[in-house]
Structure 1
Amino acid sequence: MSDQATARKFLLANASFSILTGITCLSAAAPIAGLLMYASPDWMPLVLRLMGLGLLSFALIVGSIALHPRLSRFWTMQIVQADLGWIVGTAVLTWLYAESFTTLGLWVLWSVAALVMIFALGQYRGAKGIKPATTDVTFAIDEGTLVASTRRKVKAPQNVVWQIINDHPAYADVADNISKVEVIEGDAIGMQRRCYGPHGENWTETCDLYEEGRLYGFTVHTEADSYPYPFETVQGRWSVNGEGTDSEFLIEIFVKAKGNAFARAMFNKLAPSKFSGLLERLGDRWADRMEKAI
């Protein structure tokens, strides 16, 4: 199991346990207070309900971290620290007020702390092996259009990088969503290429921007009856800048979804989680080719 998978597994277990504990505190605060303490104060059920709300909020945060396509080492370690804080808090509470808790109450508190410790250790074990992403993928919204940017620095001169990003048929070798690319006609401005998806779906694109050795751009013919995706407009820009043996390439994809404002807003909200991993892998694979080509 990979480090990311290990950390993700324990984060999800942590979130699930927090949800279960939070719901229990909210729905049975008074009985739980009676089980935990010999003489439960009147305010104890309120404290348990507030703790339940806090645990549900915590579970939402942990779950969002765990389900992100690129698991963050930094945020996973923040959850580890929060878990350690819970364990330390339990130790201090039971040491200072041990006589206030029933034997069952002490067992419950330390059993929960033991589970939290397991989550913390599993998360830490996974997180310490997660390496920061070298391909930077970001998303932005510009007047309803989703802009996905993929940026990567490589140890290769600009001419080598340009040769590889301008090799259109080879694009299918590095992009998960493309199975084949063929140049139909032309070169530079006006060039047309046909792209095929993983299930045989295909569409045409026309080059509308070109600077030899530096950048090119394509507009996808989404208006065609055969276009398979629910996008109103799609444009792409591929560019490279370099100095000496170091370069940086940038891919920008501009997508405007079809439908009403709500449909577009939902697409813009959900698309980053679906496509960030794909774009990161594209950047990594291209960089690998560029650095091996020199």
Structure 2
Amino acid sequence: MNIELGKFNILEVVKTVDFGVYLDGGDQGEILLPTRYVPEDCKIGDFLNVFLYLDNEERLIATTLTPLVQVGEFACLEVSWINQFGAFLNWGLMKDLFVPFGEQKMKMQVGKRYVIHAHIDEESYRIVASAKVERYLSKEIPAYQPNDEVSILIWQKTDLGFKAIVENQFSGLLYEGEIFQQLHTGMTIKAYVKQVREDGKIDLMLQKPGFEKIDDFSVTLLSYIKKNGERISLNDKSPAEEIYDTFGVSKKTFKKAVGDLYKKRLIILEKDGILLA
């Protein structure tokens, strides 16, 4: 049986002790799951889905907690502390995730968040992170088609717009002139493929083209009205800035969605707002 460090594994309970249970780690031997993570009524023979990492003494240990990043993934994490060897990131586990100074694009600071890639260091067999994420992005040509929906992690601001990591694998770009909502590094949102360039990088857009984006926002607008007392003070004569600050869309998209809902008799238009029908 092969186990995967830095990922979830389904392992069998083979022994119970006062401080937890031991799981069958195959060639790696028995792996401790401390008491605080042991499910109620857990017994020998049960199979548990656990995340494996190394404790402070570099021993394999299991947890049922879900970390903020797994090996092979990208994430935006906050620096908890720094020592003479590097920075340590909070990734939701007892032991913080280490970023050596050599893997930092700029010197990391406590309390700030950085986009990183988690991987296994080949020499030490430790789970480590790197802020030099470019080297871990796929060089393959993605097989996406225009308008395909993808999940993206906002990576960094550039003169052209925002770089993004697409589906934990590819490099993408949102162009400044096509962004109609506030973005910041670390956001995970859905986007749509505009085109795949010859170099394999992906041009992205935040809204589907044509009427599809209007239909999508119509659902969002209707839900917003329902959650806000069935009435909002915005209407199609409201300033574009106010509409953008509230919904992150252009006034044109807002007006088309209002018209769509009105035609379906789902809303009532008033002089100073919109009322749920």
TM bracket (short chain): under 0.3
Structure number with greater Rg is: 1
More helix by share: 1
More strand by share: 2
TM value normalised by structure 1 = 0.25
TM value normalised by structure 2 = 0.26
